[in-house]
Structure 1
Amino acid sequence: MSRTDTVSPTPPDDRTAIPAPPVAEGGWLRPSASAPAEARWGHPDGLQIGLHPLPGPRGLLRVYTPYLDHPRERLLNFIAIEPIPAGGRERGYSELEHSDLDDAPGKRFWSADGMSDAAEPADPLAPSRGLIGTADGVETLTVHVVSERFANGAAVAVRLRFRQDRPHEVGIATLALPGSVPLHACVITATMGNYARLRRLHLADGDVTPAGLWPGFSGTGFTEHGAFGLDRLPRNAAGEVEVSATTDEADPSSATYGDDVAEHWKYSGLRAVQTWIAADPDPEVRALVNARAAYWASSAAIPNGSAFENVELVEPFRQGREFRFRVEPAR
């Protein structure tokens, strides 16, 4: 059972209008029915996902967590889409590749209520409102986010699903589109752990840290990936894999920064636990992390040392496979 709403087209003479903010209705946050509108979905007081042209680079999902005492425009993390063709190991990069549609940095994303209307690029200022339905007797809000084709031939989309009983979580399922090359994997990676200065990855046999994995690391690049197989990944009571990352700072909002650190890197709000969840994990599932000692695109040192940047779960590709991303206030 589902219902949807039609988004009003944007009149040609109204393209310079300020996009309408999302509206809270029926327990959900959804784009306005009148374009131009911000592309932002989720829980009015819980986790929300947004798309460009909201602030930030193109080719990334924006993760908003207002319940961490964040202002409306403050995001906690980004999520990138990085497909790997079958027979290869090189990823496509939704954030870093240039668009074939306009040659600007970042792959273009657009929203759709279902895959039947997802083939052609849609106006980012006339986003789909999403479908309200039910799953396991719980009301849900579902929207699809489609990427333009990657340079490696991958054509993919993700399905975002919010549940009323999980206000701090979103399900993200990966889908190969018609005409895509076969896929080895379609990685969805949380890309901005440096903002929260995540330094503890909680595994079944104890925590690991950047300092322990890459002692003495410095410079302005990334470390190599640290990889952890199924035998090291924690399980919850339902048998699902749950891999969480946290900061090691008691109050990250009170850190002392160098003069060269940009304002957008300075953490505000409550401490949080960021978690990837995989039901029915594949035997080959791995948790992957890398780290940086300096903030992205700068030489500005991260206070108190290296922190994890990308945190992800990776499995062999399965059509419609869903991982869940959850952000809870730290206790």
Structure 2
Amino acid sequence: MSQTCGFVAIVGRPNVGKSTLMNRILGQKVSITSRRPQTTRHQVMGIKTQGEAQCVYVDTPGMHIMAKDRNKAINRFMNQAASQALRDVDCVVFIIDRTRWSEEDQTVLKRLENVTAPVIVAVNKVDRLKDKRELLPWLESVGARREFAAVIPISAKHGTQVDALENEVMSHLPESVHYFPDDQITDKSLRFMAAELVREKIMRQLGDELPYQITVEIEEFREAGHVTHISALILVERQGQKVILIGDRGERIKSIGREARLDIERVLDGKVMLNLWVKVKRGWSDDSRALKSLGYHLD
């Protein structure tokens, strides 16, 4: 039996469950998640190999409309990263949220106009539908918006119909040797994943209080015996954000560090010593050179 292998872009507006879907497919956390839109900022590859088939999923930042309050260099970067992922892919999974169709969904559909690869619509979060009778007419109306390869209702959180989605994706993979070793799960380094897990905990604990002007840079990542020592620098844009992040008597930063350390230990399968520092770096999110130095560059 010949091998198949291909790239699959997972796209959609912010907060529709792209990262949750990829983590579900892989059976482990590769992309960070939170309830806040635009948690994902980079292209993140998740590699799943089953026998002769290898599927390279590319999780992308949510494509969003560049409103005045979101017209910063980091927003432009995220939109570019999502659009770039559509080049030269073998299949696209376009995720939408239940029976909601927004202006940003329409923006994503517009960007798919020039994509020649098959596009599969995954209608996510159907487990939250109060009236299941709405689903069938909605699937038909979505299918009429353009010629899709398939329209599949799923729940990425609970795994409902995800196997059907995977089977549809694999039916579009071309014959090819595998691009990655069969046991490789992602293209991202452990340093990258450590930084992302720290940022995830900040988003989950302070997403309502802090805007998006937060990033995490790993300054130290070294093994000493059976312990990995990690020092992470959290950059914010204003002194007030630093105060919120540290919290009363340092309790907030301790809580973030504790949760992040436990997740990093699961990824590394070993003991971790994690130190967090907070620094004010004004205007980093709207400075292209600063973004590049912080790892925000297109592959």
TM-score, normalized by length of structure 2? 0.30
Q: Which has the higher helix share?
A: 2
Q: More relative contact order in 1 or in 2 (CA 8 Å, sep 6+)?
A: 2
